[in-house]
Structure 1
Amino acid sequence: MKIDARSVARVLREPGALRAILLHGEDTGLIRERARQAATAIAPQLDDPFRVAVLDRDAAERLEEEIFSLSLRGGRRVVWVRDGGDSLTAPLKASLARESDTLVIIEAPGLASRSRLRALVEAQASCAAIGCYPEEGRALEGTIRQSLGEEDIRIDADALAWFAGLLGPDRAAMRGEVEKLALYAGRGGHLTLDDVRTCIGDAAGVSLEDAAFAATAGDRAGADTAIERALAEGTSPIAVARALLSHLHRLRRARIAMDSGQSRADAMRGLRPPVFFKRTESFGQALSLWSAERLMDAAEQTQALEKDCKQTGSPDLALCRRHIARLAATAAILRRDR
């Protein structure tokens, strides 16, 4: 059966009598995290070879054998398959026809919607299919707040919004940055915007923000340097596109406010989260160059960039570099023609 987003946490925390959990989608970090949660719910010690069997992509021929093996020390067993695919369909179907309390957990990133394995799991009441896709916006902020809350750490709204805007789509990378914040704050701590910037000031996301601000202000050299640093630090091309899109939308909101009669300073102060004080000059320069219409065109081109970067085999790094260069060149032309 399919598991809706509201029920995922409960299912992973209490798998109950489920025979199999299929984790599919685009976020490999989230898939691995959820697989670990489900496995730990059954076998708290994941290094126990009597209760946990981990199989690779060639697991089809061993799946039934592992499912019906007995734990020498007692307790329910877990068979954890990594990088699963349709080859598991037949052995899993045969296993479900026999009695067993073993929980099968299958990581299947990139599994097609018409997959035979997915169809089997979704059709069985004793199985759970869970989609794992990158979180954005409020969902991502909620996950960050919840993770910090586990250490009784509070974070200001502007700091949370700024931090969420820096993160790429990979859950594992996000967890790493959240853990860094938690160590910085300490249990029971409180994080402000300045705290977050100080803590992750060397993160790839800061380089990415540098690239966005420099490009829209017409600073080609600064934009090129920043995007190379961000890519070298592991930022994905899709994260580049999403960060640029967020920046362009913020510029457009401020530009529309100015067109309706607000001063530039008031328009910038009205944004949430507010523009960081060290960025106000660059942001203001961009506002003086770009019209709301041109910003919308740039946003549409950036959306096209994200789509292109998702195509298999696309030269995504080159596409990112070219897009940044085009934005900077456009801003430079606008400045020259003022």
Structure 2
Amino acid sequence: MKIEPRQVEAFLRKPDPKIRGVVVYGNDDGLIAERALALARTVCEDLKDPFRVVDIAGDALKNDPARLADEFGAMSLMGGRRVIRVRPAGEETTTALENLVEAPAGDALIVVEGGNLTPRSGLRTLAETEACLAALPCYMDNEAALQGLVESAARAEGLAVEPDALDWIVERLGGDRGQSRSEIDKLLLYKAGDGSKTVTLDDALAVLGDTAAIGIDNVVAATFDGELVALDRALDRVFAEGGNAVQLVRALQRHADQLHLVSGHAAAGGNLEGAMFKARGLPRFGPVRQRFERHLRAWPLPRLGAALQVILEAEMQCKSTGLPDQTIARRLCQRLAQAGPGARARR
């Protein structure tokens, strides 16, 4: 049986008692671990209980495929239902799971942490098609899922989240559920003692913000937007806080490289959305995504090629000429900003 997204929360709270084993899989290791843990705790809250909890490595079942069915039928010496955790698991556990399907009796719950299984995976197919098994997919959170994660965690602590703070937090979080949980928990711990019932943008910046990285991001945005006044302010702030000029130059290069890569894919016959999907490490949504798309429209391939050459020259100057790094980086940003269409449009 395949668990559909709308069924996940209810299934995690109370798994169908007819289900003998659940294969938890996907590309989000943190979410796999979180959901597998939640399932195991529906059977036994104390997962350190040696009488009711058994941990098996997936490769151990390759040479002993009958063990899973045996564990399913075994009774706890101290009473109570048992949970069998199989992790990490891959295709080598398929035969063991087939034996579980054929097992005559038992009441343990088998929780298999299967990793990123493809649609052709035998383990995944078995879990999706057998009535006594379940396949629970875990994929990286999208914007809506991250918003829900932040708001539900805050609500559990009696807190509300300001809209601008929510947008900024979601923009900073990645797709991995474990990392996202860690960052959210850190923020809520910070709020626990101040008596306020609202998470503000200042709170988020104080806990989750990397000041240097944010400052450099602002420089990159202003440079490629051609916002000369905003660029001067952003550069002043970065350097006043001890920002590294070479790091700034490399941030400009990364951004130009990403733009060039996506523009190149699109120019080769693909659409822009498809090109962004293929490229890795790009902003997924929100204001950062909108800014990236704006820069794609404003910087065609020839202009990006010229920009990359200028950036490379500036990095070499930082390393070899003995001139002040900050002066070289500032001059580079201003030169790029003045070359952008936004700056020319305001002349």
The higher radius of gyration belongs to 2
Identify the match of residue 147 of structure 1 among 144, 147, 153.
Answer: 153
How far residue 9 of structure 1 moved from its aligned partner, in angstroms, is: 0.9
Identify the match of residue 115 of structure 1 among 118, 121, 141.
Answer: 121
8 Å CA contact retained: 1:39, 1:46: yes
How far residue 186 of structure 1 moved from its aligned partner, in angstroms, is: 1.6
**Alpha-carbon distance in structure 2 between the residues aligned to 1:15 and 1:58:** 26
The alignment status of 1:182 with 2:188, answered yes or no, reads yes
**Alpha-carbon distance in structure 2 between the residues aligned to 1:102 and 1:161:** 43
* Partner amino acid, structure 2, of 1:7: Q
1:201 match: 209
8 Å CA contact retained: 2:165, 2:199: yes
Identify the match of residue 133 of structure 1 among 131, 139, 144.
Answer: 139
Label 1:239 to 1:49 Cα distance change in 2 as closer, same or farther (>3 A).
farther
2:288 match: 247
1:78 match: 83
**Alpha-carbon distance in structure 2 between the residues aligned to 1:104 and 1:6:** 22
How far residue 243 of structure 1 moved from its aligned partner, in angstroms, is: 6.4
8 Å CA contact retained: 2:143, 2:285: no
Label 1:224 to 1:69 Cα distance change in 2 as closer, same or farther (>3 A).
farther
* Partner amino acid, structure 2, of 1:40: R
SS of match in other structure, 1:101: coil
**Alpha-carbon distance in structure 1 between the residues aligned to 2:336 and 2:171:** 28
Label 1:295 to 1:195 Cα distance change in 2 as closer, same or farther (>3 A).
farther
**Alpha-carbon distance in structure 2 between the residues aligned to 1:248 and 1:11:** 34
**Alpha-carbon distance in structure 2 between the residues aligned to 1:64 and 1:331:** 68
**Alpha-carbon distance in structure 2 between the residues aligned to 1:189 and 1:92:** 48
Post-superposition CA distance 1:278-303 (Å, at most 9, x none): xxxxxxxxxxxx5x7226879xxxxx
How far residue 221 of structure 1 moved from its aligned partner, in angstroms, is: 3.8
Post-superposition CA distance 1:48-68 (Å, at most 9, x none): 011111112323124233223
* Partner amino acid, structure 2, of 1:223: L
1:13 match: 13
How far residue 208 of structure 1 moved from its aligned partner, in angstroms, is: 4.9
Label 1:197 to 1:225 Cα distance change in 2 as closer, same or farther (>3 A).
farther
* Partner amino acid, structure 1, of 2:74: S
Label 1:41 to 1:335 Cα distance change in 2 as closer, same or farther (>3 A).
same
* Partner amino acid, structure 2, of 1:137: E
**Alpha-carbon distance in structure 2 between the residues aligned to 1:163 and 1:296:** 31
8 Å CA contact retained: 1:86, 1:117: yes
Post-superposition CA distance 1:290-329 (Å, at most 9, x none): 5x7226879xxxxxxxxxxxxxxxxxxxxxxxxxxxxx97
1:293 match: 297
The alignment status of 1:335 with 2:341, answered yes or no, reads no
2:327 match: none
Post-superposition CA distance 1:68-120 (Å, at most 9, x none): 32211111111111111111111111122122111110111121211111111
1:96 match: 101
Label 1:201 to 1:97 Cα distance change in 2 as closer, same or farther (>3 A).
same
**Alpha-carbon distance in structure 2 between the residues aligned to 1:143 and 1:297:** 39
**Alpha-carbon distance in structure 1 between the residues aligned to 2:68 and 2:112:** 11
The alignment status of 1:212 with 2:237, answered yes or no, reads no
Coordinate RMSD, CA, aligned = 3.2
SS of match in other structure, 2:40: helix
The alignment status of 1:223 with 2:248, answered yes or no, reads yes
Report % sequence identity. 33
How far residue 333 of structure 1 moved from its aligned partner, in angstroms, is: 3.3
Label 1:81 to 1:158 Cα distance change in 2 as closer, same or farther (>3 A).
same
Label 1:117 to 1:223 Cα distance change in 2 as closer, same or farther (>3 A).
same
8 Å CA contact retained: 2:26, 2:116: yes
8 Å CA contact retained: 1:208, 1:226: no
The alignment status of 1:39 with 2:43, answered yes or no, reads no
Post-superposition CA distance 1:6-27 (Å, at most 9, x none): 1101111111312111111100
1:58 match: 59
8 Å CA contact retained: 1:23, 1:131: yes
Label 1:47 to 1:165 Cα distance change in 2 as closer, same or farther (>3 A).
same
